Amino acid sequence: MSARIGAATSGVRVAGLTVRHRRTVALDAVELDLDTGVHGLLGPNGAGKTSLIRVLATVAPPTEGRIELLGLDISAHQERTEVRRRLGYLPQEFGYYPGFTVREFVSYVAWLKEMPAHSVPRAVERAVERVGLAGRLDAKVKTLSGGMARRVGIAQALVNEPDLLLLDEPTAGLDPEQRVEFRALLRELGATSTVIVSTHLVEDVAVACGQVTLIDSGRVAYRGTTASLTELGGTADPTASGAGSPADSPQTSSPSSPIERGYTAALRAHRDAVTRGKQ
- The span from the CA of 40 to the CA of 43, in Å, is 10
Q: Among 213, 217, 149, which residue's Cα sits nearest to residue 178?
A: 149
- Residue placing its CB nearer to ligand ATP in the complex, 31 or 79: 31
End-to-end alpha carbon distance in the chain: 42
Spell out the alpha helix ranges (H) of 57-139: 77-86, 102-112, 120-130
Please, what sign has the CA dihedral across residues 92, 84, 187, 247? negative
43 vs 258 by CB, closer to ligand ATP: 43
Beta bridge partners of 67: 14
- Minimum Å gap between C-beta 42 and ligand ATP is 9
Cβ 217 to ligand ATP, closest distance in Å? 8
Cβ at position 180, least distance to ligand ATP in Å: 23
Cα–Cα distance list, 214 to 68, 138, 187, 199 (Å): 20, 39, 20, 11
Min separation Cβ 21 and ligand ATP, Å: 3
- Tell me how far, at minimum, the Cβ of 242 lies from ligand ATP, in Å: 17
- Taking the C-alpha atoms of residue 55 and residue 198, their distance in angstroms, rounded to an integer, is 13
Enumerate binding residues for ligand ATP (CB under 6 A): 21-22, 24, 26, 43, 45-51
CA distance to 6, 30, 233, per residue, from 228 (Å): 26, 21, 9
Nearer to ligand ATP, 64 or 114 (CB): 64
**Based on CB atoms, which residue is closest to ligand ATP, 73 or 248?**
248
Nearer to ligand ATP, 3 or 247 (CB): 247
Q: How far is the CB of 205 from ligand ATP (least distance, A)?
A: 14
Q: Which residues pair with 14 in a beta bridge?
A: 32, 67
When the beta carbons of 127 and 220 are compared against ligand ATP, the nearer one is 220
Nearest to 256 by CA among 244, 269, 240: 240
